[in-house]
A and B are shown apart, each in its own frame.
Chain A
Amino acid sequence: MHNLFRKELKLSAHILSYLFIFFGFMFFLPGYPVLCGAFFVTLGLFQSFQSVRENNDILFSALLPFAKRDVVRGKFLFVCFIELCAFLLMAAVAVFRQTVLVSAAAYRDNALMNANGFALSAALLIFALFNSIFVGGFFKTAYKFGRPFVTYIIVCFLVILAAEALHYFPGMSAVNAFGADHLGLQIGLVAGGFAVYGILTWIAYRVSCKRFEEIDL
């Protein structure tokens, strides 16, 4: 399996998938919807799927000495690898912003969502939606990705909008915790984000394997 993962990293991946990990730095931006950073990371992953299609990668991979379903596993491993790299960067930026830069006026007076535990859990939700809607949708045909990507974009921006608006609702201000405020809640939200990410990605993977087995290449 590590050979298939190596193939994904060295052959199938588009350079933008790696470069767009750095959109995780958007968690530094005050007065900006930081979750757009998570969207841009998935936009980078989308470039790899375009490259996959241009280069006949699915058929190439299916002809390698692996089971057909391993082609799906390789793609999910790559996608999760990029997402988790981006998440680690976002988490590091969020911690830095909420500790070392906690007294910065730009962050203290931030009108939009703070880069906190809730933002990180929402980023994980966005990644999970990408895996479910886009990657899962792609493996219906292993060729067409227009509809899954447009659907994902719409859902993604609805989630960003809802996440940005949530703390303005009565009793929900804690989700916009600043610094070490509501630390237990913030850590719990990240843990919840991981659980949702893991469950949705696992379901998407299983469904994709089943779909891909039935596709004629």
Chain B
Amino acid sequence: MSTVSIRNLTETYPSFRLDGVSFTLEKGRIAGFIGRNGAGKTTTIKSMLNLVHPDSGEIRFFGENLQGNETAIKKQIGYSTGTVNWYPRKKLKEIIDIVRRCYDTWDEAKYRKYLKLFALDENKAAFELSEGMKVKANLLVSLSHDAKLLILDEPTSGLDPFSRDELLQLFVELKKAGVAVFFSTHIISDIERYADEIVYISNGQIMAAGEKSDFIATFSEHGESLEETFLRLERRENDA
């Protein structure tokens, strides 16, 4: 039973088409989701969270279909969608006080631990936080309710190198505890260092999904870094 199983996800917009997106992710694995701006990463992630309405396809978590099991599934998932501001004038603790009651598995000790780790002040309002701190605030919720899966849209954007490294180290710790992590990023070196798997999307189509080593064996040319491979593939796609 896969933690995540996406099959033939298709959605058509006037100027863009998510075309038969399919991939799986197993327990205790870290998958990096890469692709250019507008390639379909956020649309895919939003589909996984039932925020957008696909034309067709199947989204399963923990063997259960998202449709019909949305509440139970969402309680087992932690997610962060970039740095979007929720209630920018409300104190963090006011928002958290609402959110924590929504999760049966909320772990106050973990919440306190990550609050300290991220150096967040819960008496601050979102508008007082830097972009990086907003990302951390979103992650704080995701990490405080014993999620079995984290779905994160560009979680390292806006973070300083130290915070980024701390976060990615945290992913490794979570992985050891059996948590699956699916994160999109434009920082290929993060994937190179920490991901077990790569899901590569281009123009709404999955070009590769699987083991990082398989991706490198298939696409990399001699001595190339993952970033160089990715850039070459994207140039080729553009030229095609």
Contacts and interface: CB of A to CB of B under 8 A. Distances in A.
| Residues of A contacting B: mostly | helix
B49 A63 contact: yes
A66 interface: yes
Contacts of B102: 3-4, 7, 64-66
A217 B52 contact: yes
Interface stretch (A21-29, A52-60, A171-179, A181-189): A52-60
B109 interface: no
A6 B85 contact: no
B81 interface: yes
Contacts of A7: 98, 102
Contacts, number: 68
Size bin of chain A's contact surface: 20 to 34
Interface residues of B, number: 26
Interface string B29-54: 00000000000000000100111110
Interface in A41-93: 55-57, 59-60, 62-68, 70
A106 B185 CA distance: 71
Interface of B: 46, 49-53, 70-71, 74-75, 79, 81, 84-88, 90, 94-95, 97-99, 101-103
25 contacts: A3-B102, A4-B102, A6-B101, A10-B94, A10-B97, A11-B87, A11-B95, A11-B98, A55-B86, A55-B88, A55-B90, A56-B84, A56-B86, A57-B86, A57-B87, A59-B84, A60-B87, A62-B49, A62-B51, A63-B49, A64-B74, A64-B102, A65-B71, A68-B50, A214-B53
